[in-house]
Chain A
Amino acid sequence: MITRRRMLKTASTAGLLLAAQGLLPAWARNVAGAVPASGPRTGPHEFDLTIAETPITIDGRTGSAITLNGGVPGPLMRFKEGETVTIRVHNRLPEDTSIHWHGILLPFQMDGVPGVSFPGIRANSTFTYEYPVKQYGTYWYHSHTRLQEQLGHYGPMIIDPANPDPFAYDREHVIVLSDWMFEDPYRVFAQLKKMSHYYNFQKRTVGDFFEDIATAGLGATLKDRDAWGRMRMDPTDIADITGAVYTYLINGHGPETNWTGLFTPGESVRLRVINASTMSYFNVRLPGLPMTVVQADGQNVEPVEIDEFQIAVAETYDVIVRPESDRAYTLFAESLNRSGYARGTLAPREGMAAPIPPLRPRPLRTMVDMGMDMKDMDMGGMQMKDTAPPGMAGGGHAMPEGGRMDHAGHSSMGGHGAEHGGRVGSMMEEAGPIVARHGPDTHGPGNTTIAHVERNRLAEPGTGLEDVGHRVLVYTDLRSVTPFNQRPAEREIEIHLTGNMDRFMWSFDGKKFSEVKAPIPFRHGERLRLIMVNDTMMEHPIHLHGMFMELENDHGQYIPRKHTVNVKAGERMSLLITADAPGRWAFHCHLLYHMEMGMFRVVEVSPHEGRA
């Protein structure tokens, strides 16, 4: 195991503190002109990646990282749709490693998950990945070994399309968001196990209690405290690891360093935004610049103009911005719980900066997140908009009227929206409709709550963005440019996302990986509907390897394909999968510490090589 202490020792004995700038590839340097605009790549179809421990500097402070070709993030891997690539990975670590190509369709032996698709890459050995590139888009790659990803083992990947993209742009920048810690992540892992709220310094205090009484009244405040107290849950439980220990990075640079991407006024600039964090969702915006989303998880979508989007861990979004004026724009990526931010700048020239917006007040979990049925609760005259009939399990999902809710500029209800530290009357008037109710199974001691009512939350903008007063991307906005398989599902699988916040246990259906005896079986060629119900009070980015999941968001044959879906608390989500990739694949929560705690499964698509 690579512990911090040992790594630092190695670094000092080596006696080299390399200048971070020199190590970074051109696109990630402090000031980046641009990644060369897309076009036929003439470079090699063979690549060498060397993984090693290297000291790096973040905002002036030096720490030890696991680097790829000397940098964090690793080099931009740029492929061309249709080619076959060979990547030799040289492991210079004193321990096993691996590289998983996130979102890439490939033979499972090349997928890079130790213990699932291959044995891993041993210390001081080389493993050669070779696979045909069958897709286009923005992706990334990362270690699938223990907590290596937290130490910097990740990088971006672009696949230029065989046919031109259906949108134009003059220049592009890759934006890799990540969360960095100087601590030893294995120690952080243990701290969470011993005290799950260790990194939460945004809890409600006695002061918040009195402030809530002043703003919402004594009755409402007591009711609110009573509801949370009975559940033994904390509404400030937004993120397990926070800005208390994280420095949030853009292309390997802390907020102080201010990574800058250049543009010429009037240009269309494509930003390829990748959330390579281990545990951090971000709210991304460029104050003063609307963004047009053109790609999600590497898949082209109908352009949609927005002002802000929430990016779950492991998702990618490509947006186009058109800065007209000769001024700087702050690229602001606020962490979900608002304990910190990553910050960069788009500017016409080097050395410019725009104001940094203040962090907005931290959001709170709501009774909707808890899967509570508002009808069962006396909420002091506050109304919930629950229009859909209950019990619509699987398949047809009712959409809120009009398909998309307008989140911009609506007035908020009493006490909601929260300029103050606490927030009472914790619910959202615009929560999605109830589509099913939870069965009797409470999933055992590894699970603390169940979603009594399961909602379709695809039209909601995500935690903390309900009332921001401008356009926020929602999942119902995502509409594929090309039509896909319309074959109906032959079989349905329902999986519950479960956890015990207090004990920091994470699982599916109440069982962690080591408690299950067999992979989830898929038959090769079958069409499946995967239903996920999130019984926990947190959102989880769920990732399936080897096959895209088609998000049933009511766009018919134009429903979007995703490799990672953000399942909101209390949500029931429906996805279609064509099991066209024989082999053994990982299926897991992409919050690294959740995955390592057992929120992980193997999906086996049979028959496949070596198994009937």
Chain B
Amino acid sequence: MMILRRCGMLVSGALLITAAAGQASAQQTPDGAPAGWPEPVMDSQIFTFFMAERNEYQIDDDNQFYVWDAQGWIGGDYNKLWLRTEGEYVLDQGKLEAADLEVLYSRTITPFWDAQIGVRSTFEPAQAWDGVVGVQGLAPYFFEVEATAYVNDEALQFTLEGAYDLLVTQRLIAEPRVEVNLSTHDIERRDVVSGFSELEAGVRLRYEIIREVAPYVGFEYVRDEAAEDDKDSLRFVTGLRLWF
């Protein structure tokens, strides 16, 4: 319940910021048409987007997991409210291992890049808040990139994520993906170690039945420096990518 309330607060706060930014950039009637006439074109529409990029079952030698990684936005061409959430649930232990939600104001700064600022609320492995600053966009050679810095009073963390679509056919697409997490300090209660703290590298082969619905299979290698015993894990994954 508390988690839900906190999410609600976060989202409504960021909505206000985005709306205010949208307001500030909205122009007066451009063409001096008489009051009461409609706009000749609908170029200021608000759109919404939500994608569960990873929505999958993972299995390695020891455990089974449900992993999600989803993001979405609501907004116009220049200003958006952006949400990102990621998490991992250990199925055979019935334990939520990691879960967080980021609420960001996102601004189109260059043709291919958005700058983002906001907060992250982490629910597991420990309750925590971070300030978030980042960029997200399309790098040369079609790499989808997210580079994000997280600030709190214990450490400065960085996450770099890159993905690439390799078309086997028009609908069968291989997607290599790498995520690296770095930190300036140990944060024991949050299972973070300083320096290089976590790596995920994988390939997923999806089939776009329609663009919005794509089942996939793949492999993921995870290295977690904070893990007590086995730091490495090689996992088979299968899931369903969805967006609307």
User: Which positions in A face B, CB cutoff 8 Å?
Assistant: 96, 113-116, 118-120, 144, 146, 190-191, 193-195, 198, 201-207, 229-232, 445-448, 500, 502-503, 505, 512-519, 584, 586, 588, 595-598, 600, 602, 604
Contacts and interface: CB of A to CB of B under 8 A. Distances in A.
A586 B32 CA distance: 13
B93 interface: no
From B34, B42, B112, residue with most partner A Cβ within 10 Å:
B42
Interface in B155-209: 166-171
28 contacts: A115-B31, A115-B33, A115-B38, A115-B40, A116-B33, A119-B37, A119-B38, A144-B40, A146-B42, A190-B47, A195-B243, A229-B140, A229-B141, A448-B112, A502-B111, A503-B111, A513-B41, A517-B28, A517-B30, A518-B30, A518-B31, A588-B41, A597-B41, A597-B43, A600-B43, A602-B30, A602-B31, A602-B40
Contacts, number: 126
A234 to B, nearest CB: 9
A512 to B, nearest CB: 5
B77 A503 contact: yes
Nearest to A1: B42
A519 B27 contact: no
Given A115-B38, A116-B33, 20 more contacts: A119-B34, A119-B36, A120-B37, A190-B47, A194-B243, A201-B171, A232-B142, A448-B111, A502-B111, A512-B43, A514-B26, A514-B41, A514-B43, A519-B31, A519-B32, A596-B43, A598-B41, A598-B43, A600-B43, A602-B33
B61 to A, nearest CB: 32
Given A114-B38, A514-B27, A194 B32 contact: no
Interface residues of B, number: 40
A330 to B, nearest CB: 28
Nearest to A510: B111
A586 B41 CA distance: 11
Contacts of A503: 77, 108, 111
B47 A194 contact: yes
B162 to A, nearest CB: 14
B31 A584 contact: yes
A205 B168 contact: yes
Interface of B: 26-28, 30-34, 36-45, 47, 49, 77-78, 108-112, 138-142, 166-171, 211, 243
A421 B36 CA distance: 52
Nearest to A116: B40
A447 B77 CA distance: 12
Given A194-B47, A230-B141, A518-B30, A586 B77 contact: no
A584 B30 CA distance: 13
From A194, A446, A596, residue with most partner B Cβ within 10 Å:
A194
Contacts of A446: 77, 111
B170 A205 contact: yes
B167 A204 contact: yes
A602 B243 CA distance: 37
B170 A198 contact: no
A230 B140 contact: yes
A232 B41 contact: no
Contacts of A201: 170-171
B176 to A, nearest CB: 13
Nearest to A610: B34
Contacts of A230: 140-141
From A229, A445, A518, residue with most partner B Cβ within 10 Å:
A445
Contact of A502 (B32, B138, B171): B138
Contacts of B41: 513-514, 588, 595-598, 600
5 smallest CB-CB distances across A and B, nearest first, come from A598-B43, A115-B40, A229-B141, A602-B31, A448-B111
